[in-house]
């Protein structure tokens, strides 16, 4: 009996000891696993005896996590790129009116390098725009406002959108300065064109009415009036052509065929085209150029058009007996061309304006002409990466110069 009791006790003891050992061994493995998970989460063993089930589950959990993190990262990167490239300013503002985020465009628009952390009032610095943001905060509805900032010569539009996740708001700021300016230019342009059309059309109307009321039968007046009609129609045709040229150039539809070009050849062919006209107007046309000028990078027919425009003006504004000289020499940043005349000259206050569309110094003295030639020329020269300007002394003559970069 006694020995039976002993046997039971020893079996129980051995059993307890075995379980205790299993428990400590398992705890040691789990602890070791936890330690590894902390220091090297990327290299966790998955084949640990007795806890392989747990380690496998954690490993697959981690894979899922990693995937989601990578997805989030790329999403984040995409969003930042969009925000960075956006030309509209984006500001995120919290309930207290403090800016939490601003993209580079917003910093540029408000001319402040560090926008975040500052208040809307401090950065926006415009009462109406700040009011729009306030209204959005109070009503939780989208608000928009546009203002002109004369000090900064800017026209800004602000759209305040309530943030649905937090109680702040999102501000979108657009710079409408360019759009506004284009609108004004377009309006001016249309009114200029209609004005320019009215004069020749009124003459045409008067001439045809005179012909209708009997002048047609008059052997002397009839042909004279028809001749004047012809001249007016020519002027209108030229204007239509120049307007078309200008609109093509301004809308970027004209592609320059840039190729190496010898300045001498350009000058010779422009002079050839205009020599007859100059001689008929009693003017002497002379050429001056260096023989060893470098080639320029240019569209020959377009540049020739510029020279012809300039020579044509010189012919128009120089009295018989005068002189026109066509020059080319090496200049700063390229080859400098000049068309010099001994004509009526241009008053100082008009010198900067003659390149504007439709600008003519004195409409009465010009006779024919639309005032578009120089504006077209300026576009062509600038499309070549060059620069054009005029100097003049009233009553003594003018010189128009432009520089075209060399090859």
Ligand X SMILES: Nc1ncnc2c1ncn2[C@@H]1O[C@H](COP(=O)(O)OP(=O)(O)O)[C@@H](O)[C@H]1O
Binding site for Mg ion (CB under 5 A): 313, 373
Least distance to ligand X, CB of residue 246, Å: 10
Question: What's the Cα-to-Cα distance from 270 to each of 45, 108, 267, 307, 308, rounded to whole Å?
Answer: 85, 47, 5, 6, 6
Residues numbered 376-405 forming contacts with ligand X, rule: CB under 6 A = 398
| 249: partner contacted, choices ligand X, Mg ion, none (Cβ within 5-8 A by kind) | none
d(CA 310, CA 380): 13
Least distance to ligand X, CB of residue 80, Å: 49
Residues numbered 313-372 forming contacts with ligand X, rule: CB under 6 A = 313-314, 317, 341, 343-346, 354, 359-361, 366, 369-372
Tell me the two tokens of residue 105: 């465009």
The 8-class DSSP code of residue 140 comes to -
Say how many residues touch ligand X, by CB under 6 A: 22
Question: Tokens 């490239």 belong to which residue?
Answer: 85
Question: What's the Cα-to-Cα distance from 82 to each of 108, 175, 321, 397, rounded to whole Å?
Answer: 16, 18, 66, 56
| 398: partner contacted, choices Mg ion, ligand X, none (Cβ within 5-8 A by kind) | ligand X
Question: Nearer Cβ to ligand X, position 263 or 371?
Answer: 371
Concatenated DSSP letters for 88-122?
SEEEEE-TTSBEEEE-HHHHHHTT-S--TTSBHHH
Question: Nearer Cβ to ligand X, position 360 or 379?
Answer: 360
| 126: partner contacted, choices ligand X, Mg ion, none (Cβ within 5-8 A by kind) | none
Half-sphere exposure of 156 (CA within 13 A, CB side): 28
Question: Nearer Cβ to Mg ion, position 137 or 305?
Answer: 305
Question: Nearer Cβ to ligand X, position 120 or 239?
Answer: 239
Share in percent of the chain as helix, strand, coil (round to 5) = 55, 20, 25
Question: Nearer Cβ to ligand X, position 33 or 358?
Answer: 358
Least distance to Mg ion, CB of residue 373, Å: 3
Closest CA to 353 of 370, 376, 375, 385: 375
One character per residue 267-306, x = contact with ligand X (rule: CB under 6 A): ----------------------------------------
Among 263, 322, 334, 373, binds ligand X (CB under 6 A): 373
Least distance to ligand X, CB of residue 360, Å: 3
Least distance to ligand X, CB of residue 73, Å: 58
Least distance to ligand X, CB of residue 188, Å: 16
Least distance to ligand X, CB of residue 97, Å: 54
Give the CA-trace dihedral at 247, 249, 250, 253, to 10 degrees. 90
| 267: partner contacted, choices ligand X, Mg ion, none (Cβ within 5-8 A by kind) | none
| 189: partner contacted, choices ligand X, Mg ion, none (Cβ within 5-8 A by kind) | none
Q: Residue number with the shortest CB distance to Mg ion?
A: 373
d(CA 299, CA 254): 11
β-bridge mates for residue 397, sequence order? 393
| 225: partner contacted, choices ligand X, Mg ion, none (Cβ within 5-8 A by kind) | none
The 8-class DSSP code of residue 371 comes to S
d(CA 358, CA 110): 37
Question: Nearer Cβ to ligand X, position 322 or 334?
Answer: 322
Question: What's the Cα-to-Cα distance from 97 to each of 83, 117, 118, 172, rounded to whole Å?
Answer: 21, 9, 8, 15
| 366: partner contacted, choices ligand X, Mg ion, none (Cβ within 5-8 A by kind) | ligand X
Concatenated DSSP letters for 25-39?
HHHHHHHHHHHHHHH
End-to-end CA distance of the chain: 119
Least distance to Mg ion, CB of residue 86, Å: 44
Give the CA-trace dihedral at 338, 339, 343, 344, to 10 degrees. -70
| 132: partner contacted, choices ligand X, Mg ion, none (Cβ within 5-8 A by kind) | none
| 354: partner contacted, choices Mg ion, ligand X, none (Cβ within 5-8 A by kind) | ligand X
Tell me the two tokens of residue 227: 């001749």
Question: Nearer Cβ to ligand X, position 219 or 320?
Answer: 320
Positive or negative, the CA dihedral 52, 58, 59, 61 is positive
Question: Nearer Cβ to ligand X, position 121 or 238?
Answer: 238
Phi and psi (nearest 5°) for 12? Answer: -60, -45
User: Where on the chain is the footprint of ligand X (CB under 6 A)?
Assistant: 309, 313-314, 317, 341, 343-346, 354, 359-361, 366, 369-375, 398
């Amino acid at each position: 009996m006694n020995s039976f009791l002993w046997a039971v006790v020893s079996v129980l003891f051995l059993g307890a000891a075995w379980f205790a050992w299993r428990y400590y061994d398992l705890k040691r493995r789990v602890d070791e696993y936890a330690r590894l998970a902390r220091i090297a989460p990327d290299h966790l063993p998955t084949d640990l005896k007795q806890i392989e089930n747990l380690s496998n589950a954690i490993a697959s959990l981690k894979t899922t996590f990693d995937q989601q993190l990578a997805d989030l990262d790329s999403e984040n990167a995409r969003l930042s790129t969009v925000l960075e490239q956006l030309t509209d300013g984006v500001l995120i503002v919290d309930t207290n009116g403090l800016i939490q985020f601003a993209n580079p465009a917003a910093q540029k628009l408000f001319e402040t390098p560090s926008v975040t952390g500052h208040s809307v009032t401090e950065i926006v610095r415009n009462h109406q725009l700040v009011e729009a943001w306030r209204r959005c905060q109070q009503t939780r509805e989208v608000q928009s406002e546009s203002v002109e900032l004369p000090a900064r010569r800017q026209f800004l539009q602000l759209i305040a959108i309530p943030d649905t996740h937090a109680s702040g708001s999102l501000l979108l700021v657009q710079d409408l300065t360019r759009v506004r300016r284009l609108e004004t230019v377009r309006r001016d342009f249309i009114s200029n064109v209609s004005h320019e059309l009215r004069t020749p059309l009124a003459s045409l109307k008067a001439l045809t009415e005179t012909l209708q009321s009997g002048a047609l039968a008059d052997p002397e007046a009839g042909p004279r009036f028809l001749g004047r009609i012809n001249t007016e129609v020519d002027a209108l045709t030229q204007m239509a052509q120049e307007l078309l040229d200008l609109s093509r150039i301004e809308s970027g539809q004209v592609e320059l065929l840039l190729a190496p070009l010898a300045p001498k050849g350009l000058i010779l062919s422009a002079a050839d085209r205009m020599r007859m006209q100059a001689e008929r107007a009693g003017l002497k046309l002379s050429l001056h150029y260096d023989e060893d000028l470098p080639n320029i990078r240019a569209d020959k027919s377009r540049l020739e058009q510029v020279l012809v425009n300039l020579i044509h003006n010189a012919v128009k504004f120089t009295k018989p007996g005068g002189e026109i000289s066509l020059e080319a020499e090496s200049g700063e940043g390229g080859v400098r061309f000049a068309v010099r005349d001994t004509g009526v000259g241009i008053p100082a206050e008009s010198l900067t304006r003659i390149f504007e569309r439709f600008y003519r110094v004195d409409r009465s003295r010009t006779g024919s002409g639309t005032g578009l030639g120089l504006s077209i020329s300026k576009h062509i020269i600038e499309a070549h990466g060059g620069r054009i300007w005029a100097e003049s002394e009233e009553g003594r003559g003018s010189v128009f110069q432009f520089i075209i970069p060399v090859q």
